[in-house]
Amino acid sequence: IGVGLVGFGLFFLLFGILLYFDSVLLAFGNLLFLTGLVFIIGFRRTFTFFFQRPKLKGTSFFFGGLIVVLMRWPILGMLLEAYGFISLFK
């Protein structure tokens, strides 16, 4: 179930970007991706991954970008999320 949710999340993110940053598709893709991540590695491990002290800057940018996308500013939100994603996984 988790891999399917992550796959659909990535599909909706890609589809939202291809449709000129459609904010609804991007928000739905983000939510599906995070839900799938929780299903794959568990809630506790997901929480501890995102909220480690060295990764708080990346986490804040990632979730801040998610909130900005939900507020219908998709380009700025995706830029913030991309920076947060790179910062989390560097």
Q: What is the pLDDT of residue 1?
A: 95
Residue 70 Rama label (left phi>0; alpha psi -120 to 50; beta): alpha
Whether the pLDDT of residue 87 is over 90: the answer is yes
Q: Is 47 exposed, middle or buried (0-12, 13-18, 19+ CB in 10 A)?
A: exposed
Alpha-carbon radius of gyration of the chain: 13
23-78 residue pLDDT tens = 999 999 999 999 999 999 999 999 999 999 999 999 999 999 999 999 999 999 99
Whether the pLDDT of residue 14 is over 90: the answer is yes
Report whether 20 contacts 58 (CB < 8 A): no
Q: What is the pLDDT of residue 90?
A: 86
Kindly state the DSSP code that residue 51 receives in the 8-state scheme. T
* Domain boundaries, given as residue ranges, for the chain: 1-50, 52-89
